[in-house]
């Protein structure tokens, strides 16, 4: 591990970024230095994996978000209100100060009728309607996950419903948090920073630099094997999986230091290659996910 070109202390600090930001935001709200945010979470054309991922967060966790950081105005999976009452809460937020978090791509074919999220005042509400109406009025828009950020699996070939990323439908900046799903820390840290300071520093693709500035390859614990030319030829070998098609060399995100499921493990730690799920163009441009021909 000695030839890894990074400082372990700095990595530990970076892995705690989300927790530190959330605690700072909660403390500032408690002192009335900032106000609780109003949060709308839209589940659009996708699997709802990002809201499930958020519920699995730990230090910070969902309880921090829902009880101390924001007023959770709307999420169809979590709220008690149904039908018109839910739609009243959703569109009643227009005119107030709120942050819009959207997961899933947006179906555009047939004026969005491939994805109806509810009915309001006797008319169907499409994901396309909701994103356009709320997206232009929100203080900040956060695209949560790869589908919302760049189309993802929802827009994969042949894309029969005409799915598109949130940014393509709004004439404004969108903060993008790609990942399939988005890690809870990436969202909670970004949201906390936004409440405290406004928009975080973004790269040219709209991703927060605090989470998306480093290639997985550069901080991968198996990097020494790559440097020494020791490559796995099949799954299960605990060496570098570059020749099995690992996408770590082209994927910018901090999975190696953040890990998943309460910081327990991550794909390469489980002996499977990175498939580049946090990269624009996933899944089409990242296929094939495993290539034994290269390994031979």
> pTM of the full predicted structure?
0.93
Question: Do 69 and 102 meet the contact criterion of CB atoms below 8 Å apart?
Answer: no
| 38's tokens | 């109003």
- The pLDDT, as a whole number, for residue 294 is 60
Fold agreement (8-210, 216-295): no
Confidence at residue 14, expressed as pLDDT on a 0 to 100 scale: 63
pLDDT for the residue numbered 9: 41
> pLDDT band at residue 156, thresholds of 50, 70 and 90?
very high
Instruction: Give the per-residue pLDDT at 15.
Output: 65
* pLDDT tens figures, 173-205: 999 999 999 999 999 999 999 999 999 999 999
3-class DSSP state of 146: helix
What pLDDT shows up at residue 8? Answer: 38
Give the fold, CATH level 3, of 8-210. Rossmann fold (3.40.50)
Given the DSSP bridges, would you call strands 99-103 and 140-144 parallel, antiparallel or unpaired? parallel
At 59, the pLDDT band (50, 70, 90 cuts) reads confident
Neighbours of 184 (CB within 10 A): 24
291, pLDDT greater than 70? yes
User: What percent of the chain is modeled with pLDDT above 90?
Assistant: 89
Where do we find the tokens 């491939």? 114
Rounded average pLDDT over 78-87: 93
Q: Structurally, what CATH architecture does the domain formed by 216-295 represent?
A: Irregular (4.10)
Domain boundaries, the chain: 8-210, 216-295
Whether the predicted pLDDT of 239 surpasses 50: yes
């Amino acid at each position: 591990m000695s030839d890894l070109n990074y400082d372990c202390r700095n990595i530990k600090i970076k892995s705690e970024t989300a927790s530190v930001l959330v605690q700072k935001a909660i403390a500032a709200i408690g002192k009335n230095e900032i106000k609780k945010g109003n949060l709308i979470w839209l589940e659009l054309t996708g699997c709802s994996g990002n809201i499930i991922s958020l519920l699995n967060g730990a230090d910070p966790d969902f309880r921090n978000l829902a009880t101390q950081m924001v007023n959770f105005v709307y999420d169809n999976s979590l709220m008690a209100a149904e039908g018109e009452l839910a739609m009243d809460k959703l569109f009643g937020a227009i005119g107030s100060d709120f942050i819009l978090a959207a997961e899933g791509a947006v179906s555009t074919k047939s004026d969005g009728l491939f994805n109806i999220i509810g009915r309001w005042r006797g008319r169907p509400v499409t994901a396309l309607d909701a994103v356009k109406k709320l997206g232009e009025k929100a203080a900040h828009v956060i695209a949560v996950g790869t589908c919302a950020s760049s189309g993802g699996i929802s827009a994969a070939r042949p894309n029969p419903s005409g799915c598109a990323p949130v940014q393509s439908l709004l004439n404004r900046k969108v903060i993008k948090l790609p990942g399939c799903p988005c890690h809870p820390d990436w969202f909670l840290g970004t949201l906390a920073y936004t409440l405290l300071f406004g928009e975080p520093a973004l790269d040219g693709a709209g991703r927060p630099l605090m989470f998306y500035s480093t290639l997985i390859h550069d901080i991968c614990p198996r990097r020494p094997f790559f440097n020494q030319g020791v490559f796995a030829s099949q799954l299960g070998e605990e060496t570098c999986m570059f020749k099995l098609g690992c996408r770590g060399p082209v994927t910018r995100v901090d999975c190696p230091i953040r890990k998943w499921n309460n910081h327990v493990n991550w794909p390469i730690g489980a002996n499977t290659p990175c498939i580049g799920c946090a990269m624009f163009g996933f899944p089409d441009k990242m296929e094939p996910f495993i290539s034994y021909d290269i390994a031979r």
